[in-house]
Structures are given as C-alpha cells and as structure tokens.
Structure 1
C-alpha cells in the first residue's frame, strides 16, 4: 500500500464534489487508503459517516454562510473546528490533501505535519480573486487577510495542485513555490455521468430550439448576464426555450429577475436535478450558455460547465475569458467581455447554423476525450503524490 491519505473539503459534500471524488477514486485505484472529511449535504451525502467504494468519509453539519463576509467567517470557523475534531479521529496519515476554499485548512495540515504527514494543497479557487469578484469591496482589510491566509497555505504546502496553468503561475509567482512543486490537475467531466440520450422535443416547450445553462448560481457566475442577454434575444426572435439547471446563493434572485425581464414564459429554472434528468436536458439542447463575466477570478478559472457541455458535444457561447479559450478552443464562440448584446447575437447566429453547431460539438467532445480527459489529470495527481511519498518508501500507517 502506498500510504494513507486524508482529503479535506469544506465547500461541498463528497461524493457530490465530482472533482474530489475523481481524485479519491484515482488514489484508491492506485492503492492508497483514502479518508475524507467534508460537510454533510442537505438532500444527499447526509450520513455522518460512510464507506463508499472503499473510500472512508466523515461528514459534519454545516450551515451555509449568509450576510456577506462575516457570515463566511462564521461558516469557516465552524468547519475548521469540526475538521480538527475529525482529523484527530482519523489519526496519523502520510498525506493531508486540502481543497480550498477556504484557505484555512493549512491549520489542520500543520497539526498533521507535526505527526509526519506531507501537505498537498489542492487549489480549486484563487480566494483573493474570489473575494474581489464576489463582494466588490476592493482591497480592504478582509482582502489583505485573505491574501495572508493564502500565503500561509503556500508556505505550509509541500506540493501544490492547480486546476490550470493560470493558477499554476499564481502559485509560482505570488506563492513563491518552485515550478517543480506545482502540478496541473485539470477538472474533467465524469464520462459515465455525461452520456447522450435520445433528444426529447417536449423539453423545448413547443419551440424549435432549447438553450441550456448548467451550474452554480452565485454572484460571480453570470446568470444575470445570461438573462439580460436572453431578453435582448427575444426582441429579435422567440423560437427558443431556455432552461437553467442548478442552484446557489442567487437562485431566488435570478427567478425574480427573469420575471422582471418578461422571460417567465420562456425561461425555466429546475434547481438541482438528478443526473438522469440533467442528461435529458443537455441531450435535447441546441446551444449551451457559459455567461461568466470577466472579473479577476473568472478570467483565469476553468469552468466545469464548459467541460461538461463539451462532453455532451454541445456548442457553447461564452464571454471572452483567458481560460475559457484554453478549455473550449473552437468548441465555443466568444462575445467581448460582459457584452450582453454580442452574447445574444452569437446565440442567434448559432441557432441559424446547424452545421456549425454540429462541428463545434464534435470538436469539444474530442477535446474532452483526448488532451482534457481525466486520465491525463490522474497521471499528474499520482505524480504529485509520488513526489511526496516515493514508491517503495515504506509509507503506510
């Protein structure tokens, strides 16, 4: 056995967090004993303890933040206390693998490093950029505190795993990490989850075309940009129905906005739905939307929904973002950053060009099956672990 790994997650339950679950099962398949500490879900992953496919999971109750930055401090404080408590229960490990946000889990890692563990920091988000993009408070005292926590996390980490090259550059430049200690492990869709099924015309609500958004609905995710773009599109044509799949902090606000824009009869909000229903909508869609506006976080982040749209061979409309182009390439068309009129125009152009839609879909599917496939990310993840616990080193507890 290579050793014992403890994966720490705060912002999603496991296995609901698809990236973390792929990492856990990859490590398990490589012979690692894998333990996870994460919050409990509300409708799934509710058990305080479970063993799923050989992965040991301990979950704690956690109330999601409300009321801005102070609410997040309360949430993170509670999560940190529970994580310390459960980490002691797990006992000594060879690798502690902490996934952000928040950049507070280095405190748990320090405790475990004193017992001989190595620390792998799995940077899902650039939290300083997330703070700037989500709260629009500028570089205030809290922002400086967020930067300090990120610096402390980088200093504590033996190895950093980044989701793309932009994040890797930050780990090296801002974090001071050696290039050889930063590995790119891209998020990739689970192929068993995203398999096309026969289209269902009835999902289009009597319209010729279906537009689809899949993902989180938070302040920085651009659902409001998508809705305003659709209001502009409807001024040109009404031969489409749109479905927004997912939930988040601004879900109710977005439903209200759709009503104010006069879109209630053409826009459907499903909330979170089972995978089989998600695949039905994506299989029936003609164009998929990635309306994340350009901001300090989005420009350098890899959007999971873009990868998932490509897995389903769907053409994408996106704003001009650095990492969106890296991920999608010619599988997407790009409106100038935050230009809602141009975004609407590109949707209309694709609706009128079925051959281009098919071409883009094939390109995206080939990218996800080839250079962006999880098997490539799995190799990088295992290389990062091998750098911490070399094969044959006699690790294992």
Structure 2
C-alpha cells in the first residue's frame, strides 16, 4: 500500500489557532487521508486540529512602522525556513502550500521545487493593494517590491488556490497563470456553524438590540467607518436602544477605542478583543444586525459569510466581492458613504420583517453553495491531481 501524500502548510506570521482558513484546509486534508504538518507562529491553540503535526516559532515583536513590518516578516521567513527543514527531516514532505500575505515564501518555494516538491500557492490577499490601503500610496520602493514578490509567488507555484474570482483574475492578469492552473476555493463557514443556538440576552448589555462586527481590525479594514456610522445612529438618529460590539484583534484596535471615546460612544460600543469561536457564535446568534465596512473590491468578506451562516442580516458597502457574496442577504451603501451606512443600520433595526427576510436568504445561500463543505471538495481536487509521491520521492524509491 502506498503511503499518503505528505503536505506541509506554511503560513507566515500568523498562528494556526487564529487562521480559520488554514484550520479548514488542514482538517480537510486530514479527513481525506493526507499526512499534514503546519509551520506557523506559536499560539496555545495551535494543537486544536486533530491529526495535524505543528511546528511553530515564537512570535516576533509586532511591527507598526514600515521598517518594523519588514523586520517582522523577515524573522518569520527565517523561522519558517528552519522549521521547514525540520519537517523534511522529521517525516518528509511531498507538497508544500504557501500562503499570502506577505508573498515572501517563494524564496523557500524555489529550492523546494528544485528538490522535487510540488508547490501550491494559497492566494487569498493582495499585498500591493493592502499596502496601498494601509499607507495611502501606490508609490515607492516597498509597493514595487510587493508587486515583484506577488508575481514571483504566482510564477513559482505549480498550482494556485484563489480565494475568490477577483483574486483569480489577478493571478491570471498579473501573474500570467493559465486558467487551468488556478482553483477557486472560497472561505465559507462550516455547516456545523448553522446549528441552532440559543441567544444570550446578557450580550445585549441591557439594550433592546445588538449589532456586531467580527473579524480582523487593521488600518486597511476601514473599521473606523463603522464606528463613525454608529456615532450617527446614536447622535443624529437618536437610537440609544442598541449595543454595538466590535469583536476581533488588529493594529487598529487602540485607535478605534480612542475614536469611540472621542465620539462619546463608550456607553454603547465595546471592544472585547479576540474571543474563542464558541463565544463568537454566541454573539452572532444573539445579534440583530452585522456590520461589514470593507471597501476593497477583491476582499472576500469573511465577516459577511459568518453573519449569513447564522441568518444574521448585515449592512455593508457596495463593493465587488461583497456584492457577489451578499446575494440579497444585506443592505448595501455606496462605498465610503457613512451617512448612508448609518441610515441602513437604523432602518433595519426598525424593520424586523426585513431583517428576517435578509437573514433567511443569507442562511440559504451559505447552506446551498458557500459553506466550507462545498468548498472543501474543490480544495481536495487540487491534491487529488498531485502524484501520490513527489518527483524527489519517486527518484529515491527508484534508487532503493
């Protein structure tokens, strides 16, 4: 009997415990009989995926300046290289999946391909666009380097897994990857998340309604626009019957807390930080409305997918991928129009029938097409097409 394909999932500067897409990839591969190793940043929850061997490294100091981010990612790349060698010596590797961002792991992919390993690139974020959103410029050496790194990562890979159709188009246009070399694998929630869950009234903090925003909060995520919209809902529209909870972590959280304070929102807005998945699901099952202020056309609105899985209607800006995902599950404001965003929040809180209709549509769309179980089948086809033994492995077995 031939041995299972040995897959190494490499992700820079993030922990397996914090990367839900990576956790789903690892679990799907294990369930399909693959041998799975993950190289990632250290976190106590990294061992929570059964059957996965984890090699992790101590987290670097978080970078806040451009130079700080360079140091942070170079450290992560070095540690990933060391642990990849360790994984190869401690059981072997046939296929390596590297993930964006940042797009630096191609430095490791080149020698791995020369050694006969197959390289898969999980293309889920666009580094140049994220840099532009964070720093407000598309000029300078760093932006140019990110473009080169992205191109190198795409060209080095044997196959590209794209998180959505917009990212797939970028891989073809900017990376010259043929359509046959790309598989679109979405990032929908597992169907298990659809299980009925009782709301927790305490999460409303004594108010009639609860609005939730859940996800990463970096400067590029435009969370400040949601906070400004909440200020308009409370101050201009007089809606003081609603609690707003911003769940998640990221570089922008300290400034978001200060912004809420300056706007006088402390009685209504809370930032509990990162919470365990079960507690997040409690919030989603209790909330009346979700918020998604993303302004980037290429970004898959993971927040929105989780809202929809729980039948939770949401308000978002009308950008490409959000519009495709929402499919009648949300009210969309013109991009960046904070007063319109606030008006939609206020209008939906006043209209329970409309909320119920939007929520039911979202739940149905997730169950029928967007849930991870549907996406996992596409993901596994990538590995089904890979020979059960790598090129290097076949040569070694032939010599034996």
- Asked if these proteins are the same fold (TM beyond 0.5), I'd say yes
**Equivalent residue number for residue 138 of structure 1:** 138
Structure 2 residue aligned with 1:335, among 316, 327, 333? 333
**Equivalent residue number for residue 349 of structure 1:** 347
Structure 1 residue aligned with 2:21, among 14, 19, 24? 19
187-196 or 85-94: bigger deviation:
187-196
**Given the superposition, is the C-alpha separation of residues 392 and 96 from structure 1 closer, same or farther in structure 2, using an over 3 Å criterion?**
closer
**Equivalent residue number for residue 120 of structure 1:** 120
**Given the superposition, is the C-alpha separation of residues 119 and 391 from structure 1 closer, same or farther in structure 2, using an over 3 Å criterion?**
closer
Q: Distance in 1 between matches of 2:84 and 2:387?
A: 20
Instruction: State the Cα deviation string for residues 41-78 of structure 1 (Å, max 9, x = none).
Output: 2xx337xxx58411111000122432322111101111
Q: Distance in 1 between matches of 2:172 and 2:72?
A: 29
Structure 2 residue aligned with 1:67, among 64, 69, 79? 64
1:374 Cα deviation after fit? 1.3
Q: Distance in 2 between matches of 1:52 and 1:200?
A: 27
Contact residue 94 and residue 389 of structure 1 kept, 8 A: no
Contact residue 319 and residue 336 of structure 1 kept, 8 A: yes
Instruction: State the Cα deviation string for residues 349-391 of structure 1 (Å, max 9, x = none).
Output: 1111111111111111111111112122112111212333269
160-169 or 380-389: bigger deviation:
380-389
1:393 Cα deviation after fit? 9.9
**Are residue 168 (structure 1) and residue 165 (structure 2) matched?**
no
Contact residue 194 and residue 279 of structure 1 kept, 8 A: no
Q: Classify the secondary structure of the residue corresponding to 1:56.
A: strand
Contact residue 115 and residue 392 of structure 2 kept, 8 A: no
**Given the superposition, is the C-alpha separation of residues 102 and 346 from structure 1 closer, same or farther in structure 2, using an over 3 Å criterion?**
same
Q: Classify the secondary structure of the residue corresponding to 1:103.
A: coil
Instruction: State the Cα deviation string for residues 194-251 of structure 1 (Å, max 9, x = none).
Output: 6442223332223221111111111011221011101111121222111111111111
Contact residue 68 and residue 135 of structure 1 kept, 8 A: no
Contact residue 226 and residue 291 of structure 1 kept, 8 A: yes
Contact residue 193 and residue 309 of structure 2 kept, 8 A: no
**Are residue 275 (structure 1) and residue 277 (structure 2) matched?**
yes
Q: Distance in 2 between matches of 1:136 and 1:65?
A: 21
Q: Distance in 1 between matches of 2:217 and 2:366?
A: 24
Provide TM-score, normalisation by structure 1: 0.93
1:394 Cα deviation after fit? 12
57-66 or 226-235: bigger deviation:
57-66
Contact residue 18 and residue 190 of structure 1 kept, 8 A: no
For 1:51-130, list aligned pairs within 5 A.
52-91=49-88, 92-130=92-130
For 1:363-374, list aligned pairs within 5 A.
363-374=361-372
**Are residue 208 (structure 1) and residue 205 (structure 2) matched?**
no
Structure 2 residue aligned with 1:302, among 287, 300, 303? 300
For 1:139-288, list aligned pairs within 5 A.
139-193=139-193, 195-234=195-234, 235-236=236-237, 237-288=239-290
**Given the superposition, is the C-alpha separation of residues 170 and 312 from structure 1 closer, same or farther in structure 2, using an over 3 Å criterion?**
same
RMSD over aligned Cα atoms:
2.0
Aligned residues: 388
1:105 Cα deviation after fit? 0.5
List runs of 5+ in structure 2 lacking aligned partners.
none
1:113 Cα deviation after fit? 1.3
Provide TM-score, normalisation by structure 2: 0.92
1:193 Cα deviation after fit? 4.7
List runs of 5+ in structure 1 lacking aligned partners.
none
Which of the two has greater helix per residue?
A: 2
Contact residue 195 and residue 279 of structure 1 kept, 8 A: no
**Given the superposition, is the C-alpha separation of residues 51 and 263 from structure 1 closer, same or farther in structure 2, using an over 3 Å criterion?**
closer
**Are residue 319 (structure 1) and residue 303 (structure 2) matched?**
no
Q: Classify the secondary structure of the residue corresponding to 1:59.
A: strand
**Equivalent residue number for residue 8 of structure 1:** 10
**Are residue 383 (structure 1) and residue 385 (structure 2) matched?**
no
Q: Distance in 2 between matches of 1:33 and 1:390?
A: 11
